[in-house]
Amino acid sequence: MFLTLPLFAAYSVFLLCFWPQGVMHLSIGWDVSMLCGFSALFLLLTLFALTGRPLPEPFFDGRFFLTLHRWLAWLFVGFVTLHAGGIIWLDPQTLYDLWPSGTPGMQFGAAAALLAVVTPCLALQRVRRGLYATAAMFRRSHALLAMAVLGASVFHVVATRVHVAVWWQVWMCIGVALVACMLPVGERWMLARMPMRRDGRRRRLHTAYLARRLAGVMLCAVVSETVVFVLWRH
Can you give the binding site for other proteins, defined by CB under 8 A?
Answer: 22-27, 30, 90-94, 96, 99-104, 107-108, 111, 115, 131-134, 136-138, 140-141, 144-145, 148, 152, 162
Cβ at position 119, least distance to other proteins in Å: 10
Cβ at position 91, least distance to other proteins in Å: 4
Cβ at position 99, least distance to other proteins in Å: 6
- Comparing CB distances to other proteins, the nearer of 49 and 146 is 146
- Comparing CB distances to other proteins, the nearer of 152 and 176 is 152
- Comparing CB distances to other proteins, the nearer of 92 and 200 is 92
- Comparing CB distances to other proteins, the nearer of 152 and 218 is 152
> What are the two backbone dihedrals, phi and then psi, of residue 165, each rounded to the nearest 5 degrees?
-125, -25
The C-alpha angle 26, 73, 85, rounded to 5 degrees, equals 35
- Comparing CB distances to other proteins, the nearer of 133 and 194 is 133
| Separation CA 161–CA 224 (nearest Å) | 25
* Residues 229 and 19: beta-carbon distance below 8 Å: yes
- Outline where DSSP puts E strands in 7-117: none
Cβ at position 159, least distance to other proteins in Å: 10
State the first-to-last Cα distance of the chain, in angstroms, to the nearest integer.
Answer: 33
Distances from the Cα of 22 to the Cαs of 19, 83, 217, 228, 234, in angstroms? 9, 22, 31, 17, 11
> What are the two backbone dihedrals, phi and then psi, of residue 2, each rounded to the nearest 5 degrees?
-75, -5
Cβ at position 223, least distance to other proteins in Å: 23
